[in-house]
């Protein structure tokens, strides 16, 4: 029995610059809990734009978006920030860790923001995640001192700290060699299998996509396939 965790209905978006252009043409998708979905497609097909809409970061669209049964279309940005904090984890192409902070602190930040548990508990949880991702030794180093693959693992740990409903990731392997790419793909797969985590990944990497449960291919603002 599968339950729908994310439902998008007729998502349409225009770019006005440099000239009016319809980037998404009424996309409707449903994603199940525990599913590992890849979105692939050429540059300019609209896949990244779609991801940021699904992630509630981009609010300039028409259509309907629901995550965990909560409608998110037309909500105010501060409300959405709170929602993301709790329910959405992010992993970006260029790691995007706070360079001045240690890895451990980077992982802890979303939980500190959520402010639901005492700091000692958050720290323990962060250590657990870093241990699971095999970079516990780097925990106290400044984030900027780590290699690309290591930084991406820290970013994944950060995405997991608040036990979000969905992890959204934009080109998670775009900056990594094939060995590290494969490792990151395995981690996502492991998360969906062992923890029932849902993952939506935008990627160029076909090996990475092949490793996922479902591949959505985009072309000119439509999903075909």
Partner 1 sequence: MNFKINAEIAYTHVTSRMKQSIIAALGVAFGISMYVFINGLLKGSNDYFDKKALANLPEVRIFNDGNTNSLNKITNGISIQNPRQILDMIKKDSGVKAEAALVTSNIIYRNDSLQSIGTIYGVNILNEDKMFDIKSIMSKGKIEDLLKIKNSILIGSGIASKLNVNVNDKILVTSANGESIQMIVAGIFETGIKRLDRTKSYASISNVQYLLHQGSTYITEIDFNLKDLNKAPKYAEKYARLTGYSTEDWMSVNQTIGAGMAIRNDIALAMLITILIVAGFGIYNILNMTIYEKMKDIAILKATGFDKKDILQIFITEALMIGLSGGMAGIILGYIVSYCVSLIPVRLAHINNLPFDFHLMNFILGFLFGTITAFFAGYFPAKRASLVDPVQIIRS
Please report, as ranges, the residues that interact with partner 1 according to CB under 8 A. Answer: 48, 52, 55, 57-58, 77-78, 81-86, 90, 92, 96-101, 109-110, 112-115, 158, 170
User: DSSP string covering 10-53, please?
Assistant: EEEEEE-SSS-EEEEEEEEEEEETT-EEEEEE-TTSSHHHHHHH
How far are the Cα atoms of 49, 60, 103, 174, 195 from residue 135, in angstroms, in the given order? 31, 38, 9, 20, 19
Nearest-approach distance from CB 193 to partner 1, in angstroms: 25
Nearest-approach distance from CB 1 to partner 1, in angstroms: 31
* Smaller CB separation from partner 1, 96 or 127: 96
Nearest-approach distance from CB 109 to partner 1, in angstroms: 7
Nearest-approach distance from CB 171 to partner 1, in angstroms: 11
Token pair, residue 6, equals 């994310």
Contact assessment for residue 179 and residue 207, using Cβ atoms and an 8 Å cutoff: no
Determine if residue 101 is left, alpha or beta; phi over 0 gives left, psi from -120 to 50 gives alpha, anything else beta.
beta
* Smaller CB separation from partner 1, 169 or 211: 169
* Smaller CB separation from partner 1, 125 or 158: 158
* Smaller CB separation from partner 1, 34 or 110: 110
Nearest-approach distance from CB 201 to partner 1, in angstroms: 15
* Smaller CB separation from partner 1, 4 or 23: 23
Residue ranges of the alpha helices (H) in the chain?
A: 47-54, 77-87, 103-114, 119-132, 148-160, 178-195, 206-210
* Smaller CB separation from partner 1, 162 or 211: 162
Alpha-carbon Rg for the chain, nearest whole angstrom, is 17
Nearest-approach distance from CB 88 to partner 1, in angstroms: 8
């Amino acid at each position: 029995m599968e339950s729908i965790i994310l439902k998008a209905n007729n998502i349409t978006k225009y770019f006005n610059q440099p000239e009016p252009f319809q980037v998404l043409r009424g996309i409707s998708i449903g994603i199940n809990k525990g599913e590992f979905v890849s979105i692939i497609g050429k540059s300019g097909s609209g896949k990244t734009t779609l991801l940021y809409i699904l992630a509630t970061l981009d609010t300039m669209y028409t259509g309907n978006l629901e995550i965990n049964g909560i409608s998110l279309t037309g909500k105010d940005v501060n409300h959405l920030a709170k929602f993301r904090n709790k329910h959405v984890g992010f992993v970006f192409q260029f790691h995007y860790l706070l360079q001045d902070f240690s890895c451990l602190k980077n992982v802890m930040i979303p939980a500190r923001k959520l402010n639901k548990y005492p700091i000692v508990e958050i720290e323990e949880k962060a250590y657990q995640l870093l241990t699971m991702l095999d970079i516990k030794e780097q925990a106290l180093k400044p984030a900027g001192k780590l290699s690309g693959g290591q930084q991406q693992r820290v970013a994944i740990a950060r995405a997991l700290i608040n036990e979000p409903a969905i992890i959204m990731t934009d080109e998670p392997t775009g900056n990594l060699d094939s060995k590290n790419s494969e490792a990151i793909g395995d981690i996502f797969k492991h998360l969906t299998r062992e923890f029932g985590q849902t993952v939506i990944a935008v990627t160029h990497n076909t090996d990475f996509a092949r490793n996922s449960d479902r591949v959505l291919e985009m072309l000119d603002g439509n999903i075909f396939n």
